[in-house]
Structure 1
C-alpha cells in the first residue's frame, strides 16, 4: 500500500440497475450485488462511493460487494472504510480473488465477510513511491517516517477492531513482511466469517464497475 496513487481514467457503469427501478420508486430492493475488481485510487474510490451512495438513496437494504483488489492508496482505503460503514444499509464483502494491501481495510468494512475457496489476503507495510530525483534531508525522512507510522497505526487500529487477532504484536508483524494468508488463516483470525463460493441469485441486480486502464 502506498501513500499516493495516480488516478485512472474511468468508464464506469454504476447505473446497471434492472429496468423499472428508479430513485423515485417507493419499491425497495433487498440486495444489490456490486463487483469491484480494481486498484484503490482516487478515481476508483469516487466511483465505488457514488455507486454505493446511489444504491443507499434508492433504499437498498444490503450491498453485496464482490471484491478483488491489488490495493492502492492508504487514504483512499480508509475513506472507503469509513464512508461505506456510515451508509444506512448493510454491507457484505466477499473476496472473489485476492484482497491485498489497503484492500484489506476496504474488505473489513463489511458487517458480514466471506471468501471464496482458494482466495487470499496479503498484508505488508506502508511505503511511498519516488518517481523523480528527490533530495532528502533528515527532516524530510523524519516526516516521511512519521507519516508511515501514522498510517500503519490507523490500519492496525481498524484490523484490531474488526478481527480477532490475539495480540497487537501479530498485527505489527504483518507490516514487516509481505505475508500472503489463505482463507483458513482469515477465518481463524476473524477476517472472514465463512469460506463459501460467491453466488448471485437468478434475477438479482448486479452493478459492474468497469475502469479504463
Structure 2
C-alpha cells in the first residue's frame, strides 16, 4: 500500500509524537511506500532528530518532498527520506541553534558556558546528520549555521539534499491527507 501525507506543522515534541503514531499505524497496516510533502518552519532539535531517526528506521520506502519551506530543523526531518524531491520554488533555510529565555533570567558564566556547549553539541550533531545524507562535508555543514541563509532547490540538488526537482501532487484517489501537528 502507498500513501501521501502533507506534513505542515512545527517540529515540537507533541507533533513528533503524533506523527510517530501515524507512522506506527502505517507499519501495522503494511504500507510499503510513503510520500511526505513537507512544509515546516522548523522547531526543536530533539524532536527533529527523533523524527529523522524514526523515518530512516521505517520498514517502508519513504520519499520526502519539499513543497514550500523546509526551514531549520525541518531540514533534518526532510533528510529522513530515502528519496528526496523539491518543487522548483521551494526553499531550504539554515541558521544556528538558539534558545529562548523567558522572564527575568540571571545568567552567570557557568550557565552561559553550559548553554554554549549545548548549542555546539547540537551544531555538531546536525552537521553529522546533514553530511551523512548529502554531498556536503561536515565542515561545510557547520558553516550553514554561521548565519541565517535561505537556499533554493537548485542548490539543494547540487549538494545532494534532493535527488530531483519536480512538482508535487496529491493522489487523486483520496488516499492522501494533511498532518498539521495534531491527531484526529
Matched residues in 1 for 2:156 and 2:53: separation?
Answer: 22
1:93-132 to structure 2, matched below 5 A, reads: 93-132=64-103
Answering whether residue 176 of structure 2 is matched by residue 187 of structure 1, we say no
Structure 1 Cα separation of the partners of residues 180 and 86 of structure 2? 22
Greater alpha carbon shift after TM alignment, 63-72 vs 169-178: 169-178
Q: SS where residue 158 of structure 1 aligns?
A: helix
Question: Which residue does the alignment assign to 1:164?
Answer: 135
Instruction: Report if the CA contact (8 A) 1:127-1:148 is conserved.
Output: yes
Equivalent residue, structure 1, for 2:22: 51
SS in 2 for 1:132: coil
1-side partners of 2:122 and 2:143: how far apart? 15
Aligned to 2:180: 210
When the two chains are superposed, the root-mean-square deviation of aligned CA atoms in Å is 1.2
Task: Tell me how far apart the structure 2 counterparts of residues 171 and 103 of structure 1 sit (CA, whole Å).
Answer: 15
Unpaired runs of 5+ residues, structure 1, are: 1-28
**Greater helix share, 1 or 2?**
2
Q: TM-score, normalised by structure 1?
A: 0.83
How far did 1:211 drift?
4.4
Distance 1:210 1:145 in 2: 32
Aligned length: 182
Cα distance in 2, alignment partners of residues 121 and 152 from structure 1: 17
CA distance in 2, matches of 1:33, 1:201: 7
Distance 1:129 1:199 in 2: 37
Match of residue 114 from structure 2: 143
Residue aligning to 1:197: 167
1:32–1:204: 8 Å Cα contact kept in structure 2? Answer: no
